[in-house]
Amino acid sequence: MALQWIYAVIFTTILLAGALVWQRLTFLRLARSNNDLRDHVGHLKRQLEYDSRVKAKMTMMIAHDLQSPLHFLAVLSDHVSRFADNAQFAEVKAGTEEIKRATGNIHAFVKEINLWTRSQHEHFHVSKHAFPFEVIASELEQFFGEMLLLNHNLLVVRYPENAWIFTNRDILKAILRNLLDNANKHTRGGQISLILEDDGVGSFTASVSDNGNGMLTSDLQRITRRIAHPEASTSVEPNCKLGYQIIIDFAHTLGYILDVASSRGNGSRNSGTTVRISGIVRAEAQVYREQSAEVISIGELD
């Protein structure tokens, strides 16, 4: 009888221990599931906040950069219409040329915004290929030709002979276009330079400089801060130059290092701004492989 009682106690103890172990394992499993769910919700929340900031940034960029050219087009269209009514054909021709330039600028900006929007996606993959720097340089010279003349500026372009680079052509061109556009906006009767130099370690450094008015110290500090923390630059600073936000984001996408120096003045001898872009990979062996490859896409979403 005593032996049966002992067996009963042992069996009961085993059952209780098993129940406790099962309860503990269930609790741990539920706790782990709860932690996983909390992490997932936190990730979704951060993603939603990120997407919201990206959309806000894009909206501000579009509103900021399209407002002036669209207003200019509306006014110019009225002038051209009036010139046509008065048979002032020389003025009509000049006006249509201005409309052509303005729409070209808007088209370039819309392409850059589309490219920037795609680059902000977490699964964006940058397509790169080798090509001569001369291609970008000549396209930019042609694009800014008449705009430079309007501000009486001279563009100087220098790069090593047969300089080939390995990067995303559209993104690099967008960076340089915005830098040249900034330089032309803030320079009158001056010189703007686009220079590509071999740094001797397998890469190039590109620089865009001008002898215009330069930046305010507060603007330069904001830009420098955003360059130092590109991954935290999703939000938009109301007083920050929006063109530089695109430049910083694109440079970070390509892994480039930006450096901005500026001296404030009214076109004085020592005033102006210089932006250097380091880390542009020099193409040598890649040239022959990439010349035969059909690399067309700007970037792909995995």
- Note down pLDDT in tens along the chain; length 302 residues: 666 667 666 767 777 777 777 877 887 888 788 777 777 777 667 666 656 665 666 666 666 666 667 777 788 788 888 888 888 888 888 888 878 777 877 777 777 777 777 666 656 677 888 999 999 999 899 888 878 888 899 999 999 988 999 998 888 998 998 899 889 988 999 999 999 999 888 899 999 999 998 888 888 888 888 888 776 554 455 444 557 878 888 898 889 999 999 988 765 567 899 999 999 999 874 444 444 443 433 444 33
Give the start-to-end residue ranges of the domains of the chain.
1-122, 125-301
The span from the CA of 75 to the CA of 215, in Å, is: 30
pLDDT at position 60 is 62
267 with 87: CB under 8 angstroms?
no
Entry pTM: 0.65
Around Cβ 51, how many Cβ atoms within 10 Å? 14
Topology adopted by domain 125-301: Heat Shock Protein 90 (3.30.565)
Question: Token digits for 58?
Answer: 């894009």
pLDDT at position 136 is 92
pLDDT at position 106 is 78
pLDDT at position 268 is 56
What are residue 300's DSSP bridge partners? 125
154-158 and 191-198 as β-strands: parallel, antiparallel, unpaired?
Answer: parallel
The span from the CA of 129 to the CA of 66, in Å, is: 31
Which of 107, 119, 139, 104 has the alpha carbon at shortest distance from 298? 119
Which of 234, 256, 253, 254 has the alpha carbon at shortest distance from 245? 234
pLDDT at position 160 is 92
Count, residues in the chain: 302
Phi-psi region of 162 (alpha: psi -120 to 50; beta: other; left: phi over 0): left
